[in-house]
Amino acid sequence: MTADAASAPVEKQGAAGPVTDGPAAPRGPRVRTTAAYLRYVAGKLAGAAVSLLAVLVTSFFLFRLIPGDPVRFMTGGRQVSAEQLANYREQFGLDLPWWQQFTDYCGKALTGDLGTSYQFNAPVIDKIAEALPNTLLLTGTAFVIYTLLGVFLGTRSAWRHGRLGDRLHTGLALTLYSVPSFWLGLLLIVTLAVGIGPLPGLFPTGGMESGGEEGFAYVLDVAHHLVLPVVTLVAVEYGQTLLVTRSALLDEMGSDYLTTARAKGLRDDLVRRRHAVPNALLPTVTLIFINLGRTVAGVILVETVLSWPGLGGLFYQALSVPDLPLVQGLFFVFAAAVIVMNTLADLIYPLLDPRVGR
Amino acid sequence: MTAENGTAKGQAAPTVRARSLAWRRRRDSAARFWRQYRGHRAGVFGLAALLLFAVPALAAPLLVGSDVADVTDAPGGPLEDPSARFPFGTDRFGRNLLGLVIWGARVSLLVGLLAAVLSVAIGTLIGVTAGHFKGWYATVVMRITDWFLVMPTLVLAIALATVMPRSLLTIVVAIGVTTWPTTARLVRAQTLAVETRPYIERARALGGGHRHIMARHVLPNVMPLVLAQTTLIISSAILAEATLAFLGLGDPTVVSWGALLQDAREAGAVSSGHWWYLVPPGVAIAVVALAFTLCGRAVEQVLNPRLGVSR
């Protein structure tokens, strides 16, 4: 394993992020005005709104590509009379011309109505609202852990690049990056939940609570159920953060301002923490948020495999029918979540780096 | 770009025809590429791993026979433990799991390769044209690219695979049309750099049209980048194929590694502790994906050493 992580696939997206124009950030007084920042914010928000609208349009037309009749899907091959079919069409508004369906869809979506699930016969938005907190708990925990772990290990790897530790960490990160998340989840269930050989089942799987617990015991119980999904998600995602941080820091390594800092007589880890890492973190932040799309994919699979009752598990249930309004609604939610997170990153960025957004 | 600074000098005998000169130059640069590639241990390791999987996959009809996936005439009982006769045990229909893994490699590799080629082809077309034609066309196209870039790729691929008929072609298209934006961005950046070179201006002054400049001058110069990118994308395409098949969106009649894992899960191999049913297909996916990543990184290091910060 050579230590050459400068260009893993994930880091390619660097071109999309704001470009830092030179390593030595001038730490002078901030000349940026509030008005300029507000203008920047307005631009970013407008861009996000356009993206969200585009997602809405896509989600409408994508699910009308279906060859054949959505009503046939709904009835799942059962024998139904022509009258019932017409009824269904009317109920789901499928008898209207497409442009009217589209304006209806957009209008309803703006008021939070994403249609009715065929499968559960309940409003899509209710099913989503039910599952959302569980997914946020899982994703939030995993996101915090893998970001901290990735940044920490990536910094250490870059600072001692080429050494054994760096090679091991880069190799492990690349390997885990290549492992399908659902397979890792299945293996973890076999080894840690079912138990293998002398090893007893250590962690529960299936759902997020055993039921019947109250108060603090309930919190502990949920945390116990949370372990396997979080471990799986962290294992498949931290490698990306590690490689991104490592290459960002390697870009800074040769900079003159680090030599200056050392010449001043600063200790090595002070040079790293106070001078190198803050600059390297700037491109890393953007990439971490751009890569959230991959995390969404990971969440879908991990929740499916480990039966976590979140949006991902719901997506799988909807796919296997297929329950189109629910698939459509979840598609919109996943895409919107990534767009919103990216916009947040864009808004935070100028606060971290005074050179952006002036 | 390696093709221009080949070893062929202008003083070659006039009897040597231009075509053979060009071929010698290409041979030389290929040899130079291979010499440098050999220096990357991880890349060589990846290439060896790929051969280890590609050769049995190509020879699968000879090794295991095409009836290995036949459900009705399975040689063993369902879910047998590994034995001398069935080194990986049998699956839920009593089929030889080793044979299935070898047979599944054909589909996984084929879909990975085709999807990556499609993805890179779209990305290159968009990247080169967006870099060449500036103005409103580039603005619009790059807006679309940026939008695709933030979309969760797999969710989009899943949505596409859901609404299209179940087949291998669907999987290829679903992966191909959702993974091109990174390539488009990279190729556009490289195109912009190439377009500032004097020989482009010369070609334009001599009356070269848009198509001529893009095809004969820009494209050869972005090809190294495209090659490296293809290798890297194959690895994510193979992972995506496995994921889609695992979610039951693949062709149900086709054996692939992802479909084997879906079978294993449906057969309850997880809760009954039949770990040998799960391990081989997953290891195969991980090793091949890692091998393509390692090769891609090595190719990139050789062709584009500027990115090799750590060396």
Q: What are the distances in angstroms from CA A354 to CA A32, A43, A44, A279?
A: 7, 17, 16, 12
Predicted confidence band at A31 (pLDDT cuts at 50, 70, 90)?
very low
Contacts of residue A65 in chain B, CB cutoff 8 Å? Answer: 163-164
pTM (2 d.p.)? 0.82
Least confident of A340-354, B212-226, B276-290: A340-354
pLDDT the model gives residue B44:
92
CA distance B287 to B34: 23
pLDDT the model gives residue A278:
85
CA distance A283 to A33: 23
Predicted confidence band at A24 (pLDDT cuts at 50, 70, 90)?
very low
Per the CB < 8 A criterion, the answer to whether A308 and A208 are in contact is yes
- Which of the two residues, A34 and A195, has the higher pLDDT score? A34
| pLDDT greater than 50 at residue A14 | no
Asked if the Cβ–Cβ distance from A180 to B286 is below 8 Å, we say yes
Helix H, strand E, coil C: the string for chain B is CCCCCCCCCCCCCCCCCHHHHHHHHHHHHHHHHHHHHHCCHHHHHHHHHHHHHHHHHHCHHHHCCHHHHCCCCCCCCCCCCCCCCCCCCECCCCCEHHHHHHHHHHHHHHHHHHHHHHHHHHHHHHHHHHHHCCCHHHHHHHHHHHHHHHCCHHHHHHHHHHHCCCCHHHHHHHHHCCCCHHHHHHHHHHHHHHHCCHHHHHHHHCCCCHHHHHHHHHHHHHHHHHHHHHHHHHHHHHHHHHHHHHCCCCCCCCCCHHHHHHHHHHCCCCCCCCHHHHHHHHHHHHHHHHHHHHHHHHHHHHHCHHHCCCC
Least confident of A310-324, B121-135, B201-215: A310-324
Q: Which two tokens stand for residue A87?
A: 């009824």
Asked if the Cβ–Cβ distance from A180 to B294 is below 8 Å, we say no
Predicted confidence band at A250 (pLDDT cuts at 50, 70, 90)?
confident
Average pLDDT, integer, range A24-36? 55
| Nearest in space to B173 (alpha carbons), one of B225, B132, B222, B117 | B117
CA distance B42 to B47: 9
pLDDT the model gives residue A67:
54
Q: Is A208 on the interface with B (CB under 8 A)?
A: no
> What is the phi-psi region of residue A229: left when phi exceeds 0, alpha when psi lies from -120 to 50, beta otherwise?
alpha
> Within a 10 A sphere around the Cβ of B56, how many other Cβ atoms?
17
ipTM: 0.82
Least confident of A93-107, A217-231, B110-124, B273-287: A93-107
Nearest CA in chain B to A163: B310
pLDDT the model gives residue A292:
80
Q: Which two tokens stand for residue A297?
A: 């994919």
Per the CB < 8 A criterion, the answer to whether B91 and B79 are in contact is yes
| Shortest distance, CA B223 to any CA of chain A (angstroms) | 16
Q: Rounded mean pLDDT of chain A?
A: 79
Asked if the Cβ–Cβ distance from A4 to B285 is below 8 Å, we say no
CA distance A126 to A123: 5
| pLDDT tens string A198-242 | 666 667 766 677 766 677 888 888 888 888 899 999 998 898 899
CA distance B18 to B29: 17
pLDDT the model gives residue A197:
63
CA distance B27 to B19: 12
- Which of the two residues, A339 and B11, has the higher pLDDT score? A339
Instruction: For residue A15, give the nearest of B185, B235, B265 by CB distance.
Output: B185
Predicted confidence band at B305 (pLDDT cuts at 50, 70, 90)?
low
CA distance B227 to B33: 13
Asked if the Cβ–Cβ distance from A196 to B243 is below 8 Å, we say no
pLDDT the model gives residue B234:
92
pLDDT the model gives residue B239:
92
**Exposure string for A136-145, b = 16+ CB within 10 A, e = fewer:** ebbbebbbeb
Q: Is A179 on the interface with B (CB under 8 A)?
A: yes
Please state, for a pLDDT cut of 90, what percent of chain A lies above it.
Answer: 11
Asked if the Cβ–Cβ distance from B286 to A179 is below 8 Å, we say yes
Asked if the Cβ–Cβ distance from A182 to B158 is below 8 Å, we say no
Q: Is A281 on the interface with B (CB under 8 A)?
A: no
Instruction: For residue A301, give the nearest of B159, B243, B285 by CB distance.
Output: B243
Q: Which two tokens stand for residue A161?
A: 């690049």
pLDDT the model gives residue B172:
94
CA distance A180 to A68: 33
Asked if the Cβ–Cβ distance from A186 to B247 is below 8 Å, we say no
Q: Is A177 on the interface with B (CB under 8 A)?
A: yes
- Which of the two residues, B34 and A290, has the higher pLDDT score? B34
Per the CB < 8 A criterion, the answer to whether B147 and A51 are in contact is yes
pLDDT the model gives residue B286:
93
pLDDT the model gives residue A252:
83
- Which of the two residues, A41 and B118, has the higher pLDDT score? B118
Per the CB < 8 A criterion, the answer to whether A73 and A66 are in contact is yes
Q: Is A251 on the interface with B (CB under 8 A)?
A: yes
Average pLDDT, integer, range B149-162? 85
| pLDDT greater than 80 at residue A118 | no
CA distance A158 to A245: 8
| pLDDT greater than 70 at residue B1 | no
Per the CB < 8 A criterion, the answer to whether A307 and A205 are in contact is yes
| pLDDT greater than 80 at residue A297 | yes
pLDDT the model gives residue A144:
93
Please state, for a pLDDT cut of 90, what percent of chain B lies above it.
Answer: 28
| pLDDT tens string A38-77 | 888 898 899 888 888 888 888 888 777 665 556 666 665 5
Distance of CA A181 to the CA centre of its chain: 14
| Nearest in space to B91 (alpha carbons), one of B75, B115, B110 | B75
| Shortest distance, CA B12 to any CA of chain A (angstroms) | 39
CA distance A89 to A85: 6
Average pLDDT, integer, range B130-148? 88
Least confident of A221-225, A330-334, B210-214: A221-225
| pLDDT greater than 90 at residue B14 | no
pLDDT the model gives residue A68:
54
Average pLDDT, integer, range B39-65? 86
Contacts of residue B224 in chain A, CB cutoff 8 Å? Answer: none
Least confident of A195-199, B60-64, B126-130, B247-251: A195-199
CA distance A212 to B57: 52
Average pLDDT, integer, range B207-225? 89
- Which of the two residues, A119 and A45, has the higher pLDDT score? A45
Find out whether the peptide bond into A322 is cis, omega within 30 degrees of 0. Answer: yes
